[in-house]
Structure 1
Amino acid sequence: MAYEEARAALLLGQMVFDRRSELGLTQAELAARAGMTQPQLSRLEAGGATPTVPLLARLAAALEAELDIAFRPHDPVVAPA
């Protein structure tokens, strides 16, 4: 469980970093847009923070992106024939 959470945090951080880079923003610029501090954003991008849903919404707006949160069922395990 802890591994899955750490992996999700790293993936989220990478997505924020990638989009920030696409927009040509510094961490300080994005942090200001999202109403957070640069050290908070740095921790998030490094996978060391778990943001709240309201913070994710602010980040999406600051990144000029849509926030998409969904529950998707796991792929069924099919036994080999």
Structure 2
Amino acid sequence: MGERKAWSDKRAEIMSRPGAGASYEAARLRREELGLTQAELAERAGLQQPAVARFEAGGTMPTIPMLERLAEALEVRLSVQFQPLREAS
């Protein structure tokens, strides 16, 4: 069995991938576009403000239900899809 990694190491690995932070950034920009504070978004989504702050910072591995709640609160559609990996040339 593989060695367990600390969350901070796993997060750093995930966030180092190209485009990894784009969705977190898009959510923050959408919140600001709507004129909402983190606390107001949290209230709309039925979360606590620190959960929104961790999400925007990429400091959490959100569940699909959490993403659905945030999407509804941000007035956007959540789209989760599988895409084929591009083969190296």
Normalised by the size of structure 1, how large is the TM-score?
0.82
The equivalent residue for 1:6 is 15
- The higher relative CO (CA closer than 8 Å, separation ≥ 6) is in 1
The equivalent residue for 1:53 is 64
Contact 1:19 1:63 in 2 (8 A): yes
The one of 28, 31, 51 equivalent to 1:17 is: 28
Q: Which segments of structure 1 move beyond 6 Å, counting only runs of 4 or more? A: none
User: Between Structure 1 and Structure 2, how many residues are aligned?
Assistant: 77
Normalised by the size of structure 2, how large is the TM-score?
0.76
Give the CA RMSD over aligned residues.
Answer: 1.8
Structure with greater helix share of residues: 1
Identity %: 48
The equivalent residue for 1:41 is 52
Query: 2:52 corresponds to which letter in structure 1?
Result: L
Gapped regions of structure 2 (runs ≥ 5)? 1-8
